[in-house]
Amino acid sequence: MQAAAPQATFEFEPLDLADLASVRAFADRFLASGEPLDVLVNNAGVMAVPKRELTVDGFERQFGTNVLGHFALTGLLLPALAKSAAPRVVTISSGTAYFGCVDLGNLQGEKRYSASFTYAQSKLANLLFMLELGRRAPWLKSVAAHPGAAHTNLQQYTGLFTKITMSFLGQDSDAGALPSLYAATGEVASGEFFGPREKLNMNGPPVEVRLPKRANDRAMARALWEVSEKLTGVVYEFGALAGALQPRAHGDAAAPHAP
């Protein structure tokens, strides 16, 4: 990265999205810097864990990492986002979200666990969060992206069918990152979802793609938000941010600037 952008400054920080103490510690360190946060990309994820596992906080690993970790991180970093002139939150979902269904009575696989269903549920939950965040915080851009069929170690637990499909439709990780990069830096609007253009949105250059029908369930989004607040203990203090929000022109669609 330094070779590609020699004038830039890079910093690395420990952050485990499967551990709320780590999330809080990272957020505290970032807020203590006093810097604005222009772009937050919620990218951490685990996929299709064969047997039900728990995080250190007692959450099912896929739901705890993919959903609750990002919910907590975004909420804790709201004061830094409010300092930016054009804040943006990008939530990374998956094509499996189209097959997902959120079961509020079995969010963490307590009653029954399916590795693939639980993953698809978490990725649909990411889209419900993205849309609800945009409705509750219209002063920021809340968008989502998915990488298509990208060759990464995320598929280490997937079955033979997925591996065969990946061999035909998959693209390298650099190409898989393009929808996320476009969502983070392009001219976009809150609520938009980006993925690859070709072969059933599995590979190719990034374009806006349709949202799964279930992602537009506002009642489910509100219910999931309330559950996430209860489980993480992170309550989004929108009212307390009034004094921190940067002045914005009406309809401002400017791309985020570097801090």
Which pLDDT tens digit goes with each residue over 117-157? 999 999 999 999 999 999 999 999 999 999 976 545 655 55
Which pLDDT tens digit goes with each residue over 7-61? 999 999 999 999 999 999 999 999 999 999 999 999 998 998 999 999 999 999 9
195 with 180: CB under 8 angstroms?
no
Record the pTM.
0.88
- Has 236 been annotated as catalytic? no
Q: Which of 98, 119, 182, 236 is catalytic?
A: 119
Whether residue 259 is predicted with pLDDT greater than 80 in this model: the reply is no
Tell me which CATH homologous superfamily contains domain 20-146+211-234.
NAD(P)-binding Rossmann-like Domain (3.40.50.720)
CA distances from 23 to 65, 81, 89, 227 (A): 11, 16, 16, 18
Whether residue 187 is predicted with pLDDT greater than 80 in this model: the reply is yes
Average pLDDT of the residues in 170-185: 83
Q: So what's the pLDDT on residue 230?
A: 98
